[in-house]
Amino acid sequence: MVTQVSFNDLGPVDFIPQAVVRRPVRYFSDQLGFRFEQDTDDLDAHESAFFKLDDRLPFALVHYRGNPEDTTTIYFGREIGREEVPTVVHYILRGFDLPANAVIWISSN
């Protein structure tokens, strides 16, 4: 189950990009009703929304201004082992009713 939370509710998390899906931010906002915040960091301007998977695993959906418009990046903690990344991404996709073929890149770190 995917639940939207505020960034302040996440606690300390070292987010890194784990997967990219071929869906624009508006899929998550307009069709699914999630709220995205606009901000700027050391990299660029971006839109982001923060979530928890099954009330345990924090993750974020982020789109940087310079990235292709039809993509959104899934970020979650660096502490997730390489072998667990595909499984976690799978559960996040299910939470957003996305097919597996929506993933266009997945981390192999």
Q: Where are the domains of the chain?
A: 2-106
pLDDT, tens digit, for every residue of 55-103? Answer: 999 999 999 999 999 999 999 999 999 999 999 999 999 999 999 999 9
pTM for this predicted structure: 0.95
Mean of per-residue pLDDT scores for the chain: 94
- What pLDDT is stored for residue 10 in this prediction? 83
pLDDT, tens digit, for every residue of 31-62? Answer: 999 999 999 988 899 999 999 999 999 999 99
**From CA 32, how far away is CA 34, in angstroms rounded?**
6
Kindly tell me if the per-residue pLDDT of 108 is higher than 90: no
